[in-house]
Amino acid sequence: MQNSVVSCPKCGSTNIYKNGHDKYGNQQYFCKDCKRTFRLVHSKKHKLFSFPYPKCPVCGKTMQIHKIKKAFVKFRCRSCHTRDEIPTNLPQFVPLPFDSFKFFRFPIFIVLKAFVLYFKAVSLRSIRDSLNIKVSHVAIYKWILKLSCFFSILVPVDAFKVHGDETVVLFKSKKYYVWFLVDHETNLIVAWHVSKYRDMGQVKILLEKFFGNNERTIELITDGLGAYGAVKILYKNINHIVVRLGQNNQCESKFSLFQDFVRAKRGFKNIENLPMYVNSFCVVRNLLKLNGMILRVL
């Protein structure tokens, strides 16, 4: 294809045509006179995911994205075509830094009190009245959204027997699934996950959030959902125990509290905030549970 605008940087000829794209998506040109292939732009693509791309186990080169699936990303080596998969986990929440409250107009204890009351299913206007300060319910809502990105749940190091279950949250007639793993001994939520689907890939993501870098032998109790069939295939260190539907009380008690929270808030206005709400709900419930345990010991 003749191009009268672009010229060859070597010979200056305009007798060129487009010749595909390079691996970064930049347009390539071919000069018919000097037989040279060149590019006018040399930019590289931005990474689609923040985690480091895996190295090829055969040749050691960095692998490239091959396909993006619902629960994982497929990578392929450009040299030897070796393939690998990495689950697309939710972003990890960073610890709360000390100066995170410096932009709040009110003291820290007031902001934290509003945060805890909100996830105890108290309405925004009721929180405003209980704080006894001049602040709007919209400002309190913005506090909640900001703090929900900071906290992360505390996972017991000796959690060797956990219960797994999921519940449904409706948003504009679409189903979203919230997954919990609850410790049998302490009744603390040790892992959570939010997804659009209820398949084996979501179970894998939930368990990898729980294990992290510390794999150990555990006992997993579920209600027999078919998606948990991946446990026996993927994990040799998990003893999967199935109980009858309705008898997984450790998780169902947490879900009843979560559904009460959803009903009190009359659903969600923005589904993108659902992971933040779930994380903060788990943080507050674990803190309330730990506080009760400490008081019983004292």
pLDDT per position as a tens digit, 72-86:
778 888 888 888 777
149-181: pLDDT as tens digits? 777 776 666 778 888 888 888 888 888 999 888
> Of 188, 187, 168, whose CA–CA distance to 178 is shortest?
168
Residue 240 in this model has a pLDDT that exceeds 50 = yes
Burial 151-183 (b: 16+ CB within 10 A, else e): bebebeeebeebbbbbbebeeeeeebbbbbbbb
Specify the amino acid at residue 234.
L
Residue 193 token pair: 């996950």
pLDDT band at 298 (very low <50, low <70, confident <90, very high): very low
Q: How confident is the model at residue 58 (pLDDT cuts 50, 70, 90)?
A: confident
Query: Against a cut of 0.75, is the pTM above it?
Result: no
